[in-house]
Structure 1
Amino acid sequence: MTAPPSPRHAAATRGPAPLLRRPDPHGHAKVSFVELFFDLVFVFAVTQLSHTLIGHFSLHGVLQTAFLMLAVWWVWVFTSWVTNWLDPERIPVRVGLFTIMLLGLLMSAALPQAFEDRALMFAGSYAAIQLGRTLFFLWAVRGGDPTLARNFHRIGVWLGFTAVLWIVGAIDETWRVPLWITALAIEYLGPSMGFFVPGLGRSTTSDWSVSGGHLAERCALFVIIALGESLLVTGATFAAEPLTPLGVAAFLVSFAGSLAMWWLYFDTTNEFASGRIAHSHDPGRLARLAYTYMHLPIVAGIIVNAAADEFVLAHPGGHTDLKTAVCLLGGVGLYVTGVGLFKRAVMGRWPWSHGVAVAGLALAGLVVPSWPPVATSAFVCAVLVALAAWERHSRAACLPPDSAGMADEPSIGP
């Protein structure tokens, strides 16, 4: 993944209307209203993913939904890196974002039938976004820093190759799954391999300069989008079901669980992470690890938990069936693991409180089948609340002692 330019890069851009961001005197790049408007498409995408998981909960359905979530995340995070670089307040950049919005809306609409009747609609929209955004960036920085241009030439080669795989897979149903898996795997490997192209070389993260505050805020907003979907599922399902004491209890527990998820992510880590990146000796590498990769399990865990809320609210009594147990324990376990990995990336240490929570959730899988779903949901909520309280209480110990000075970043990751 590329990263936004330093002021030196911005100054190097030539032309009548430079489209690169101009950071404020403190080096911060503010999230614009255009970017917030852009995110609305992904509210719809997350809704489509959660409903697809709910409606097709089987091993096959779970794997397909996971694949689609990886694709949606990759479109969004690539675009967020580009807007970390380009100024969304400039008209050409706005037009580019609006075009991606239209294509993203088509892609999101196709998600439930992406592997069936709407494969070409999904793959064509996805490939057009990925390759078109890269070509637009090359046009936007024409005549500027040659290092920056070479970086996006490399990305264009990678995405041009995968675009062929996406389209051929959409046309040929027999080869669809292997071609699409190959295409997405190549794209996910690209940033960690510096988008190496023979004759063009590879990018190195030491050359990247990133606005940590902007990227942290963008990813935090996506977490909000996912949590918002969880609340929408809770409210819509509760409204559609008969009003019973068990239903009210399930509703309150689901809401409390969403609050605890919010608290765990936003109370102790997010603000520190942006400062850590801003003062890092290799901000591109740290941002790539912490935001491009480590936010995936966070978002995935929230989406799975939204499906769990639907299952519990629809059937709060009786015994906890397999799909409800998997979504409740697995969704929250995935989320807690993701937050722990994020903290490991930016703080240099794995919070052992998260390990205790994940172990507790795993052990609970042995006994929850005999519990009512509302009781299983209450247990999971209690784990989240206890973990959030633990992290809040130990916040000073959670942050490195040199956090004010932002010492060397942890030497982990790709």
Structure 2
Amino acid sequence: MTTSTARWGMRTNVMRPSDRERGERVAFVELFFDLVFVFALTQISEVVAAVSSPLDGVRAAVLIAALWWLWMNTTWVTNWLDPARMPVRIAVVVLAFAGLVVSTSIQESGGERALAFALGYVGLQVVRSIFMVIATVRHDVGVAADFARIAAWFLVTGTMWIAGALAGGVALVVLWGAAVAVDYVVARTDYALPGLGRGTMEGWDVSAAHVAERASLFIIIALGESFLVTGFAFVEEESNPARIAALASAFLAAAGMWWLYFDHGEQQGEERVERSARSGAMARAAYAYAHVPIVAGIILTGVADKTVIAHPVEMSALAVVTILGGPALFLLGSAVFRRIVGAPGAGILLGSAAVVALLLPLALVMPAWALSLASTGVLLGTAAIDTALRRRRGEESRG
């Protein structure tokens, strides 16, 4: 921590305490913030389920990436600030309300609520970053400088979000996609600014336990959302053997993804980031980046389950893409995550993602519920092999 002589900013030090237990614990107000994303994920699922063209698909992908970036950047804030302090708690509650505004605009973000979504998204990103500068400038000038850079870049990409919302149509997708791409790329450069060089994010002394737990909670939220959409879809339809098989496949797929993430990889991620000399860089790669396909895979799988329950025999293009794309993305993202943190099993996950892709020809001869069971079988088989190899190495399960 580097103190400064700044005469402005928050006098009270609201940085997280150095005490290990308090400094790493996820606060209840952070869980309150997460509740907004339960609704946000249901809205994202509706957008994916309504995809009818490649342009719709790109917009859905942009929204998933943006939603994760919104949540992840808030996690960085609470990694530095103490949510038990009143100013921080109030700030998180305000951010949760802004997140609710964003969430209510997701379904119509390509139409009449595009500007509301863009303004809410940009406002949340910029205001949160400025709050971080105000909260830390007197107590850690390095962190304040880094978040000033982040705020500057969010102002740059914010113009693209707003311009896209005003333009609409293809321009909206192009500009929003470019804004998300810039956000992800400049983070990799530590938010370098012309003439000022790079920031110091790679050297951040992050709390590995806090970041890992926050990411884990989001995965649980995403899996829970898949149960919501699947359950609602099932109770709205007449029961028959095909739909019962689809419901069973949905549950087993969620269980398989949970097992693969929490039985082994999640613990390894926390431990490797904790030991890394460049914990900031590793945490960014493992959680900010590698978790995007993991979360997207869970969302697509949930949409697949809803689609198959509604139409268990019909094999639509959306059904094929989500039934196979969801598990494949999840496995691919999990493999990348494990590779980054040096955890074993990345090769097995990559191989399983390839096996899911090889199921594509079966879409020509199988009903949707059967293809769903086949892809779920790959997830369960991968979990079984991964667990057997872990036990052979003598490693204990954490989940």
Give the TM-score band, short-chain normalised. Answer: over 0.9
Residue 212 of structure 2 contacts residue 266 of structure 2 at CA under 8 Å; is this kept in 1?
yes
> What are the within-5 Å matches in structure 2 for residues 328-367 of structure 1?
328-347=323-342, 351-367=346-362
> What are the within-5 Å matches in structure 2 for residues 54-133 of structure 1?
54-133=49-128
Q: In structure 2, do the counterparts of structure 1 residues 91 and 27 end up closer, same or farther at CA, with 3 Å as the change threshold?
A: closer
Q: In structure 2, do the counterparts of structure 1 residues 10 and 24 end up closer, same or farther at CA, with 3 Å as the change threshold?
A: farther
Q: In structure 2, do the counterparts of structure 1 residues 50 and 16 end up closer, same or farther at CA, with 3 Å as the change threshold?
A: same
Q: Distance in 2 between matches of 1:106 and 1:255?
A: 31
- % identical equivalent positions: 38
Q: In structure 2, do the counterparts of structure 1 residues 120 and 245 end up closer, same or farther at CA, with 3 Å as the change threshold?
A: same
Residue 13 of structure 2 contacts residue 135 of structure 2 at CA under 8 Å; is this kept in 1?
yes
Q: Which segments of 5 or more consecutive residues in structure 2 lack a partner in the other structure?
A: none
Q: Distance in 1 between matches of 2:51 and 2:349?
A: 30
Could you report, residue by residue, the CA deviation over 1:315-345 in whole angstroms, capped at 9, with x for unpaired residues?
A: 223x533321211111110111011111111
Q: Distance in 2 between matches of 1:104 and 1:394?
A: 41
Q: Give the aligned residue type for 2:255.
A: L
Residue 273 of structure 2 contacts residue 282 of structure 2 at CA under 8 Å; is this kept in 1?
yes
Q: Which has the larger displacement, 295-304 or 194-203?
A: 194-203
Q: In structure 2, do the counterparts of structure 1 residues 60 and 171 end up closer, same or farther at CA, with 3 Å as the change threshold?
A: closer
Q: Distance in 2 between matches of 1:268 and 1:399?
A: 12
Which residue among 175, 180, 195 is the counterpart of 2:176? Answer: 180
Q: Which has the larger displacement, 35-44 or 8-17?
A: 8-17
Q: Secondary structure at the match of 2:105?
A: helix
Which residue among 215, 229, 241 is the counterpart of 1:233? Answer: 229
Residue 298 of structure 1 contacts residue 336 of structure 1 at CA under 8 Å; is this kept in 2?
yes
Q: Which has the larger displacement, 264-273 or 171-180?
A: 171-180
Q: Which segments of 5 or more consecutive residues in structure 1 lack a partner in the other structure?
A: 1-7, 401-414
Q: Secondary structure at the match of 1:298?
A: helix
Structure 1 residue 22 corresponds to structure 2 residue 21? no
Q: Give the aligned residue type for 2:16.
A: R
Residue 44 of structure 2 contacts residue 63 of structure 2 at CA under 8 Å; is this kept in 1?
yes
TM-score by length of 1: 0.89
2:375 alignment counterpart = 380
Could you report, residue by residue, the CA deviation over 1:154-208 in whole angstroms, capped at 9, with x for unpaired residues?
A: 1121112222222232223374333322222211112111111134331234521
> What are the within-5 Å matches in structure 2 for residues 3-402 of structure 1?
8=1, 16-25=11-20, 28-173=23-168, 175-317=171-313, 319-347=314-342, 351-395=346-390
Q: Distance in 1 between matches of 2:44 and 2:244?
A: 26
Q: Distance in 2 between matches of 1:10 and 1:86?
A: 15
Question: By how many angstroms is 1:349 displaced?
Answer: 6.0
TM-score by length of 2: 0.93
Q: How many residues align?
A: 392
Q: In structure 2, do the counterparts of structure 1 residues 12 and 376 end up closer, same or farther at CA, with 3 Å as the change threshold?
A: farther
Question: By how many angstroms is 1:302 displaced?
Answer: 0.5
Question: By how many angstroms is 1:348 displaced?
Answer: 6.0
Residue 321 of structure 1 contacts residue 369 of structure 1 at CA under 8 Å; is this kept in 2?
no
Q: Which one has a larger percent helix, Structure 1 or Structure 2?
A: 2
